[in-house]
């Protein structure tokens, strides 16, 4: 099974942020030992391009990714998967002293109820919630710190403009499936896994399922390319994602 290439796709907020940083003269990271050309859109080696598998679903929720200069360039970053799935997506480079005015405007926008996603054990109990309001007039906006755990803690501590936001503390029932980078704690979820849990809490069940499947397919393409294995699209992960892929035509191959 395979699907035909996807048509042109407008870049999401993470892709636009990456392009902006490149235009400013910041060089992208080069993965060690990987000299094969990568797809500009999905960052996977061209032979294992993921673009034809981009899902299209609706979601009431929005996402806002706070990224570091390095994270926006990492080929293994999963924040762009979230921005591919959730139509209302935003991404900003973190700054302690000079936050992007567009970020501040987004946090103040009356259509949104922002939630800063962070472990509740590090936060004052009165700020912490484990639920998302889904029946109000405001739509949920999930603020995700897309960085290493050490960097995320720094961002959390040193961003006064987040101090008034409620903290959404997730209680994941399964260990991380993320295999692209090493972590000392298997219970740490990657950003895409966190976002899928948030969407599920907000009642965006279809978007959560699509993101979970998209993440599994991305992981497989990425690792198969890394280990120089032929791309195999006849897997359970691809079959799970296929119903959400409306921008490609399934064909037998």
pLDDT for the residue numbered 182: 46
Kindly give, in sequence order, each residue whose CB lies less than 8 Å from that of residue 209, ignoring residues fewer than 6 positions away.
196, 240, 244
Classify 79 as helix, strand or coil: helix
- Classify residue 45 by its DSSP letter: B
Total domains in the chain come to: 1
Tell me the backbone φ, ψ of residue 213, rounded to 5 degrees. Answer: -70, -40
Cα–Cα distance, 1 to 237 (Å, whole number): 12
pLDDT for the residue numbered 251: 39
The tally of CA atoms less than 13 A away on the side-chain side of residue 20 is 12
- Sign of the four-CA dihedral 14, 203, 236, 171: positive
Average pLDDT by stretches of 10, the chain with 253 residues: 53 90 71 71 91 95 95 89 96 94 97 95 92 92 94 95 94 59 55 94 96 95 91 93 74 35
pLDDT for the residue numbered 189: 83
Report residue 215 as tokens.
Answer: 């993440």
Cα–Cα distance, 100 to 67 (Å, whole number): 12
Q: Show the beta-strand stretches assigned E in the chain.
A: 2-3, 62-67, 89-93, 112-117, 128-129, 139-146, 167-168, 250-251
Residue 248: how many CB atoms within 10 A of its CB? 18
Task: Report which of 195, 247, 244 is spatially closest to residue 61, judged by C-alpha positions.
Answer: 195
Cα–Cα distance, 75 to 180 (Å, whole number): 10
- Whole-prediction pTM: 0.88
pLDDT for the residue numbered 190: 87
pLDDT for the residue numbered 63: 98
Structural domain span for residue 46: 2-251
Classify 49 as helix, strand or coil: coil
Task: Report which of 13, 137, 28 is spatially closest to residue 74, judged by C-alpha positions.
Answer: 28
pLDDT for the residue numbered 27: 65
Q: Show the beta-strand stretches assigned E in 120-179.
A: 128-129, 139-146, 167-168
Cα–Cα distance, 159 to 98 (Å, whole number): 10
pLDDT for the residue numbered 184: 44
pLDDT for the residue numbered 40: 86
The tally of CA atoms less than 13 A away on the side-chain side of residue 88 is 15
């Amino acid at each position: 099974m395979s699907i035909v290439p996807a048509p042109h796709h407008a870049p999401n907020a993470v892709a636009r942020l990456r392009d902006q940083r490149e235009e400013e003269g910041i060089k992208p990271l080069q993965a060690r030992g990987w000299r094969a050309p990568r797809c500009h859109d999905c960052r996977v080696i061209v032979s294992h391009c993921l673009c034809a598998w981009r899902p299209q679903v609706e979601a009431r929720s929005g996402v806002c990714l706070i990224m570091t200069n390095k994270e926006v360039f990492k080929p293994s970053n999963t924040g762009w998967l979230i921005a591919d799935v959730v139509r209302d997506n935003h991404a900003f480079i973190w700054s302690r002293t000079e936050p992007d005015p567009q970020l501040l405007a987004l946090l103040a926008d009356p259509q949104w109820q922002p939630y800063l996603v962070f472990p509740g054990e590090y936060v004052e109990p009165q700020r912490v919630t484990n639920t998302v309001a889904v029946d109000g007039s405001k739509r949920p906006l999930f603020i995700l710190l897309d960085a290493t755990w050490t960097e995320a803690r720094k961002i959390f501590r040193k961003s006064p403009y987040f101090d008034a936001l409620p903290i959404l503390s997730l209680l994941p029932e399964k260990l991380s499936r993320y295999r692209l980078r090493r972590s000392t704690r298997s219970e740490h979820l990657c950003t895409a896994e966190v976002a899928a849990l948030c969407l599920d809490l907000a009642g965006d069940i279809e978007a959560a399922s699509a993101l979970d499947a998209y993440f599994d397919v991305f992981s497989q393409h990425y690792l198969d390319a890394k280990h120089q294995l032929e791309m195999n699209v006849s897997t359970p992960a691809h079959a799970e994602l296929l119903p959400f892929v409306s921008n490609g035509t399934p064909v037998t191959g």
